[in-house]
A and B are shown apart, each in its own frame.
Chain A
Amino acid sequence: MFDPLIHLLDPLRRWLGSLVGLGEGWPLHWPDWALPKLTGAVEEKLRSQPTDEADMPSAGSGRPAKGLDLSRWFNLEVIAPVIVGILFLVGWEVAVRVTGVPHYLLPGPILVAQTLVRDWGTLFPSLLITVQITVVAFLAATVSGLLVSIVFTQSKWIERSFFPYAVILQTMPIVSIAPLIIIWLRNNTFAAMVVCAWIVAFFPILSNTTLGLNSADHNLLNLFQLYKANRWQTLIYLRLPSAMPYFMGGLRISGGLSLIGAVVAEFVAGTGGQRAGIAYQILISSFNLQVPRMFAALILVTGLGILIFVSLSALSDRVLGKWHESAVRREN
């Protein structure tokens, strides 16, 4: 009658066995569910860890040969930062309670979590506004960066004439020009913020892609010349694919920067009402000394930033996966 229970406990027993170092006889066999497919840096890290277990003829295991298995989660590289995180949160909470710091100075993590849940109704819609600004600015930066870099590589003179101005655009601190842009586009705050975020996000894509388009293998360029390829053939079949890793690198930088640009623009604009972004919520909370709410909003912005980075890394891996060194898994 305990059979079902044993079925349930058996994997747990074996897993614990592997944790306490009885690995040889106790390989980890988690039940049939595989982990969701991870992408980007995390996946790379997890997959590149060859386990002895994989080479062993593990008798009687129902484990599928392919896919991630759970043991990789439980290596030190993954556990250590998680433990640090938990210890930090616990220490924070304890410190706040022991010292009795008022929560308008430093709220404990539990209060922050409660506030996040309580104010979800106002914070999340604001986050969506920020997402809109970020995404529109990022797409604009991607398209314009790509097009301008293509124009640059058509002629050395165009590049030499215009590149310094792109640099100037980049070096102007966004905080100092944001008010100007907001004044110019005072009828359309959304557009003003998109422009601010675009200015920040544009340059990395431009400079990376220009570098990439110019770094096509010179032998291949000669080959294209020998076979009388025209300008567009060279661009489409050689320069653009060569630039792809650089372009992807630019995207990853610009993704984060467009969020920063959006947040800065919101701060400067200080726009409330129906279309208030998450940065405005942070600003308002600070005015009202609602520090737990500030923390909650901060968590949302950070989460958004991480989400952007992870999705762009995944995109990069997907596009470059088959051929580029950065994305190729090596077996040595």
Chain B
Amino acid sequence: MPAPVITLNHVSKVYSNGTVALQDMNMTIQEGQFVSLVGPSGCGKSTVLRLVAGLGHLTTGSIEWGKNLEKDAPRGEPKLAFVFQEPALMPWATVMDNVRLPLKLAGEPKPKADRDVLEALQLVGLRGFERSFPRELSGGMRMRVSIARALVTKPQVLLMDEPFGALDEITRSKLNSDLLELWQEKRWTVLFVTHNIYEAVYLSNRVVVMAARPGRVVADIPIDAPYPRSEDFRTSSLYNNYCREVSARLQEAMHGSAQDPYLRPPSAGRLR
């Protein structure tokens, strides 16, 4: 029985301009789960991630961390790593220095840090690019650097905010399968935000569908497909059924919350 790692209890977040980003959200994430948050823009899926990461304050509710985790900080959370939608690299620093950043901030001695950095670069397949600058890399490679920087601290929980959203389809599916391979090896707990249903179903063993205004959970769908998931899985009927189900729940969610006519999905109104 896997232990819960992150528990959200009645979490709400209201921004100072009155926007209700999240309303009474409850969710428990088990150790080693790969959970995707899917939803229309403005449904608060990124807010969940930021709150879990400790970037921003809860309005009400609480976030609890699993009991039997290696604790890292006064807040009592395990080692977290965050991957943003943009690679968010320091343009003035080499790949090596970018990936070393978390270790440098933690005051780790350089020889040890360098070993860890090389190991992380090995994991994402970027050995040989240590001395390159971010501008010399392609979009996909920059994202790999960003992931290496997240992995270098050997995190227990990986938070990813639409990490592949800005990439082309080919790069995205390559990075998807590489990420999945790494996850099977390292078994982090992953919380993955995306607006791409196919990506969510391919990667996760659990897809949480959210709706906007106010941001809330409308469906929690387990994806019972075995790992490793090869490229064949992407064309299997099992995969397609899951995609259809998530898509249907997402449509429902948007339908239900469409007070704003501009947000109504195409099926909801006739063209005039």
Contacts from A to B (Cβ < 8 Å) = 217, 219-220, 222-229, 233, 237-238, 241, 244, 322-324, 328
Contact = CB atoms under 8 A, between A and B. Distances in A.
Nearest to B133: A323
Q: Which 6 A-B pairs have the closest CB atoms?
A: A219-B88, A323-B92, A219-B84, A227-B105, A229-B105, A323-B91
A219 B150 CA distance: 13
A328 B135 contact: yes
Contacts of A233: 105
Contacts of A323: 91-93, 133-135
Interface residues on B, range: 20 to 34
A324 B91 contact: yes
B105 A222 contact: no
Interface in B214-259: none
Interface string B79-90: 010101010101
Contacts of A241: 90, 92-93
B78 to A, nearest CB: 13
Given A223-B82, A226-B54, 12 more contacts: A219-B84, A220-B88, A224-B105, A226-B82, A227-B102, A227-B105, A227-B153, A233-B105, A237-B101, A241-B93, A323-B133, A328-B135
B92 A222 contact: no
Contacts of A222: 50, 53, 55, 82, 84
Interface in B21-71: 50, 53-55
Nearest to A223: B88
B80 A226 contact: yes
B189 to A, nearest CB: 16
B106 interface: yes
B170 interface: no
B228 to A, nearest CB: 30
For the residues of A in contact with B, the DSSP-based class is helix
A322 B132 CA distance: 10
B86 to A, nearest CB: 6
Contact of A225 (B55, B101, B134, B153): B55
26 contacts: A217-B88, A219-B88, A220-B90, A222-B55, A222-B82, A223-B82, A223-B88, A225-B54, A225-B55, A226-B55, A226-B82, A227-B101, A227-B106, A228-B105, A228-B106, A233-B105, A237-B90, A237-B104, A237-B105, A241-B90, A241-B92, A241-B93, A322-B133, A323-B91, A323-B133, A323-B134
Nearest to B159: A226
B1 interface: no
Contacts of B84: 219, 222-223
B271 interface: no
A324 B55 CA distance: 29
Contacts, number: 53
Q: Counting chain B CB atoms within 10 Å of each CB, which of A223, A226, A323 scores highest?
A: A223
Contacts of A228: 73, 105-106
B105 A322 contact: no
A219 B55 contact: no
Contacts of B82: 222-223, 226
A325 to B, nearest CB: 8
Contacts of A224: 105
Contacts of A219: 84, 86, 88
A228 B93 CA distance: 20
Contacts of B90: 220, 237-238, 241
A322 B91 CA distance: 9
A222 B52 CA distance: 13
A244 B90 CA distance: 12
A237 B98 CA distance: 11
A229 B153 CA distance: 14
A289 B193 CA distance: 78
A227 B55 CA distance: 11
Contacts of A324: 91-92
A200 to B, nearest CB: 30
A9 B153 CA distance: 66
Contacts of B105: 224, 227-229, 233, 237
A218 to B, nearest CB: 9
Nearest to A241: B92
Contacts of B135: 323, 328
A223 B53 CA distance: 10
A238 to B, nearest CB: 7
